[in-house]
Amino acid sequence: MSETGKIFVTGGAGFIGANFVNEWVRNTDGHVVNLDKLTYAGNLENLAEVEGNSRHTFVHGDICDRATVDRLLADHRPCAVVHFAAESHVDRSIHGPDEFIRTNINGTFTLLEAVRAHWVGLDEGARGGFRFLHVSTDEVYGSLHPADAPFTETKAYEPNSPYSASKAASDHLVRAYFHTYGLPVLTTNCSNNYGPYQFPEKLIPLVIRNALAGKPLPIYGDGMNVRDWLYVTDHCAAIRAVLKGGKVGETYNVGGWNEMPNLQIVKEICAILDELHPQSPCIPHASLITFVRDRPGHDRRYAIDARKIEREIGWRPVETFATGIRKTVQWYLEHQDWVANVESGAYREWVSTNYSDR
């Protein structure tokens, strides 16, 4: 796929989408049409870098709105769709699954239907080069025991939360549109991302924010749940590589080769903050660690086997956890105004919903 044409991105004002859009505009000559509903997780400040750039068109709208998606596809005739838009937080899916079903399942279905109609109408050359890349998660594979092998692309789906179940459903729809209609789809299933612009409801930015505010650092359960951590710009590079070199109909697991228990992640963040923020009244920041009631159905371990994307496409992550987490903590230290701006009434309400009775 060429990187000079127009691409259509959904959810490009969220954490990963915004990193992807900023990089795409910075590093290619292409144009991005960015459709985002601006839910609590969408933030135009994440796109300040491309504001006013003629190669970025932001559209405030919903992927569930077929007429809007049809109009954008007809007006812009993109050569690829990169689908990030989703409800993405497991704890929110436990408190209120409805939006997850609506956006992740019905929204993906609406988008697929609109894209299929657009794709069928393209001339033969354009149809052959067209790509629909669906951004998904390793959580669809379920939970691993300590001695289990990491997830490969052939692992059976065993989603355990409303979030992962809704993403699994969307993956199945995407797969079906390839097998039934021949739509040239690609799916990526990646591990936990971290880095700049991540909303402070997820573990890493929440811990940095709370530590800076001298608040407790909530660790669910015993803190020994394991995740694989992927620095966001490595993920964006993987998506670009799959768009360019991925085989249609295939799925690619994307991981950072950084499996770690949550407690260790939090301790590393605290140690970096002790060093980079020596004027803090809370040193050592690890003294703020507080064990709280576990998440219901909390998956014990995720681990990604990312050998397929390396073997077939040549992508490997650049960042180790040590380099990525240092950059991330530094970014949050330098962007405390960004964090302050997202701490609206709605954010405070969420903190009270999720943490007050733990």
Positions touching ligand NAD (CB under 6 A) are 10-11, 13-17, 35-39, 41-42, 62-64, 84-86, 88, 103, 107, 135, 137, 167, 190, 192-193, 199
Instruction: Please state, in angstroms and as integers, the Cα–Cα distance from residue 240 to each residue in 171, 182, 272, 284, 306, following that order.
Output: 19, 22, 31, 40, 16
**139 carries an active-site annotation:** yes
What is the pattern of x (binds ligand TYD, CB under 6 A) and - over residues 250-279?
A: ------------x-----------------
Name residues contacting ligand TYD, limited to 162-191 (CB under 6 A).
Answer: none
Q: Does 111 bind ligand TYD (CB under 6 A)?
A: no
Q: Does 227 bind ligand TYD (CB under 6 A)?
A: yes
CB of 227 to ligand TYD, least distance (A): 5
> Across the strands, what pairs with 59?
35
Instruction: Tell me the three state secondary structure of residue 358.
Output: coil
Decide which of ligand TYD, ligand NAD, none touches 24; Cβ closer than 5 to 8 Å per partner kind.
none
Q: How many residues in the chain?
A: 358
User: What span, in angstroms and rounded, lies between the C-alpha atoms of 285 and 260?
Assistant: 19
Fill in the amino acid letter for 333.
Answer: L
Fill in the amino acid letter for 272.
Answer: I
Nearer to ligand TYD by C-beta: 115 or 204? 204
Decide which of ligand TYD, ligand NAD, none touches 203; Cβ closer than 5 to 8 Å per partner kind.
ligand TYD
CB of 206 to ligand TYD, least distance (A): 5
Decide which of ligand NAD, ligand TYD, none touches 200; Cβ closer than 5 to 8 Å per partner kind.
none
Taking the CA of residue 189 as centre, how many other CA atoms within 13 Å lie in the half-sphere pointing to its CB? 32
Q: Quote the tokens at residue 94.
A: 């436990």
From 46, 108, 225, 328, residue interacting with ligand TYD (rule: CB under 6 A): 225
Fill in the amino acid letter for 72.
Answer: L
Q: Quote the tokens at residue 90.
A: 């497991």
**Which string of b and e fits 64-95 if b means at least 16 CB within 10 Å?**
beeebbbebbeebebbbbbbbbbbbbbbbbbe
Catalytic residue among 138, 171, 201, 259: 138
Name residues contacting ligand TYD, limited to 63-92 (CB under 6 A).
Answer: 90
Q: Does 288 bind ligand TYD (CB under 6 A)?
A: no
Decide which of ligand TYD, ligand NAD, none touches 169; Cβ closer than 5 to 8 Å per partner kind.
none
Q: Does 218 bind ligand TYD (CB under 6 A)?
A: yes
Q: Which of 288, 157, 144 is nearest to 214 (CA)?
A: 288
**163 carries an active-site annotation:** yes
User: What span, in angstroms and rounded, lies between the C-alpha atoms of 134 and 215?
Assistant: 37
Q: Phi and psi (nearest 5°) for 283?
A: -75, 135
**Catalytic residues, which ones?**
138-139, 163
Q: Which residues bind ligand TYD (CB under 6 A)?
A: 90, 192, 202-203, 206, 218-220, 225, 227, 262, 295
